[in-house]
Amino acid sequence: MSLTLQRIPAFSSALFCRCSSKSFQRHCSRISSKKVRVSDALSSEETGANVRIQGWVRSVRPQKDNLFLHLNDGSSLQPLQVVASSHLNTRDLTFGCAVDITGTLEKSPSKRQNVELHAQHIKVVGECNPVDFPFKIKERHSLEYVRQFPHLRCRTNAFSSLLRIRSEATAAIQSFFRDNGYVQIHTPVITSNDCEGAGELFQVEPAGHKNDSDDPNPHFFSVPAYLTVSGQLHLEVMAGAFSAAYTFGPTFRAENSQSRRHLAEFYMVEAEIAFTESLEDLMKVMEDLFKAATEHVLSSCAEDVELFHKYTAPGRRDQVDLMLKRKFNVISYTEAIDILKSSSQNFTFSTEWGCDLQTEHEKFLVKHCGNVPVFVINYPYELKPFYARDNQDQPNHTAAAVDLLVPGVGELCGGSLREERLELLSQRLAQYLQLREFGSVPHGGFGMGFERYLLCILGLHNIKDVIPFARFSHSCLL
Ligand SMILES: NC(=O)C[C@H](N)C(=O)O
């Protein structure tokens, strides 16, 4: 592409400076520039408008008469092309520096964008030494490489796309519950219960705290307390008053694992629904939630999603479309065991009735079901926590519990009808009982791992690539 100064007469008066904020502000108010984001500028129909845009330089291409910059401010994957006179002093204008630019939006001769910014004034707000900057122009860095720079990886295309998708998926999940009459509850992060009973708890204690008692265990001001593993029990309290409640926040599991599917801190979407008597009702909410959030992400972040589907997970877009189109499968745990046993695959772990389904089993089952998500229901009673409802009428001793397995990830959601019958529970757990004494109703709920959801729709493999700051065993960078 070539542009001439004739096409952009404003350039003769273009300024480039490292002037004080005050004189720059005076300049902006004199020409009454409206502050806009790059995404607004790119979608603008209006040309000739005076605008002011702040962001980071993604590339600098000096040519004979003009200087071309790509500017990004995090609002879109596509950068805005900025054209400035090459007579400017461009010494500090490097890849990675922060700039504040005023100019006019003009129609672009390029097919790749509608408009470009013809700069009249460029101020370098923060310099960047590109030699020391860990990301280089035009180089495609691996996800593993950028993971080493948690403080800078949001400046890469892939990770900024991921974070926009994550933000939109969050908004879509909130809208889904709000539109369906759920009340959002901020369940506590510090709690006294181990909801899952798996003992994977982080205990909480003030730093430098000296225990007054003889008890050597850490204490939260003399009572034992933990970081939450699930907001379920607090939500159950709320479903007993609001009928339908949800929470969406961080949960913590002290799993000493470096696996690509586990984090010590992850976000979970949890819902609890009163007056629910069947797993079908619960499964419908999970399926509707998955589809509503995914449709929203595909339409609101089309370019960002395409980046992943095209470059990191070819074929995943078709799979996502299939997941949206088809009804999710439902099989019982007993059927799942039959499928595993009759397959020719050699599994590492047991496939006897009563075994816990492992990742290898989950992946096989999803494939077996045509790469469409599959609900596995009615697990052996012994495999599920105390709160899962006893299926007393079934031949095998099972609980009314459900896991949703999805392509590329395995288990995405886990839920169950809750045991609301006081006499059955009384043999199992004292704390839970009072809830059942006062207006107990049949109810159920589920939790969905938010990072696993993102892995599934984007076709990514490592959970550390879909959370802003990953925490896992032996790692708490930044
Ligand atoms: N709210 C839920 O049902 C989630 C379940 N407690 C879990 O942690 O998997």
Q: Measure the CA–CA gap between 247 and 234, rounded to whole angstroms.
A: 10
Q: Measure the CA–CA gap between 455 and 364, rounded to whole angstroms.
A: 18
Report the first-to-last Cα separation within the chain, whole angstroms. 42
Q: Which atom of ligand 1 is nearest to the CA of 415?
A: 3
Average pLDDT of the segment spanning 213-231: 81
Residues in a beta bridge with 203? 226
Residue with CA at minimum distance from ligand 1 atom 7:
447
Backbone angles phi, psi at 100, to 5 degrees: -130, 115
Contact 124, 92 (CB under 8 A): yes
Percentage of residues in the chain with pLDDT exceeding 90? Answer: 65
Q: Which atom of ligand 1 is nearest to the CA of 229?
A: 8
Contact 278, 330 (CB under 8 A): no
In the chain, the largest separation of any two C-alpha atoms, in whole Å, equals: 87
Ligand 1 centroid distance, CA of 270 (Å):
7
Residues in a beta bridge with 265? 252
Which residues are CB-contacts of 90 (< 8 A; sequence separation ≥ 6)? 16, 60, 62, 67
Look at residue 434 in the predicted model and tell me its pLDDT. Answer: 72
Whether pLDDT at 212 is above 60: no
Res. 23 pLDDT band, cuts 50 70 90: low
Percentage of residues in the chain with pLDDT exceeding 70? Answer: 89
User: CA angle, corner 364, sides to 359 and 368, nearest 5?
Assistant: 150
Among 182, 232, 246, the mutation site with the greatest number of ligand 1 atoms within 8 A of its Cβ is: 232
Give the residue with greater pLDDT, 170 vs 212.
Answer: 170
Ligand 1 centroid distance, CA of 97 (Å):
45
Q: Measure the CA–CA gap between 270 and 261, rounded to whole angstroms.
A: 19
Ligand 1 centroid distance, CA of 219 (Å):
25
Residue 67: both structure tokens together:
């200087």
Contact 193, 234 (CB under 8 A): no
Lowest mean per-residue pLDDT among 19-23, 95-99, 105-109, 389-393: 19-23
Q: How do residues 139-163 score in pLDDT, each as one tens digit?
A: 888 999 999 999 999 999 999 999 9
Residue carrying structure tokens 């005050």: 22
Neighbour count for residue 20 (Cβ, 10 Å): 10
Q: Measure the CA–CA gap between 25 and 44, rounded to whole angstroms.
A: 24
281-313 exposure pattern, b = at least 16 Cβ within 10 A, e = fewer: ebbebbbebbbbbbebbbebbeebbebbbeebb
Q: Which atom of ligand 1 is nearest to the CA of 385?
A: 6
Ligand 1 centroid distance, CA of 421 (Å):
19
Whether pLDDT at 29 is above 70: no
Lowest mean per-residue pLDDT among 81-90, 143-152, 207-216, 372-381: 207-216
Whether pLDDT at 210 is above 70: no
Look at residue 435 in the predicted model and tell me its pLDDT. Answer: 72
Q: How do residues 290-323 score in pLDDT, each as one tens digit?
A: 999 999 999 999 999 999 999 888 889 999 999 9
Ligand 1 centroid distance, CA of 316 (Å):
27
**What residue type is 305 in one-letter code?**
V
Among 182, 196, 230, the mutation site with the greatest number of ligand 1 atoms within 8 A of its Cβ is: 230
445 lines ligand 1 (CB under 6 A): yes
Contact 297, 458 (CB under 8 A): no
Look at residue 424 in the predicted model and tell me its pLDDT. Answer: 74
Look at residue 64 in the predicted model and tell me its pLDDT. Answer: 83
Strands (E), 316-373: 329-332
Q: Which of 379, 387, 385 is nearest to 361 (CA)?
A: 379
Backbone angles phi, psi at 324, to 5 degrees: -75, -35
Q: Measure the CA–CA gap between 462 and 414, rounded to whole angstroms.
A: 20
Whether pLDDT at 13 is above 80: no
Q: What is the dihedral of CA 452, 454, 456, 459, to 10 degrees?
A: -130
Q: How do residues 53-97 score in pLDDT, each as one tens digit?
A: 999 999 999 888 899 999 999 999 999 999 998 776 667 899 999
Residue 396: both structure tokens together:
């095998």
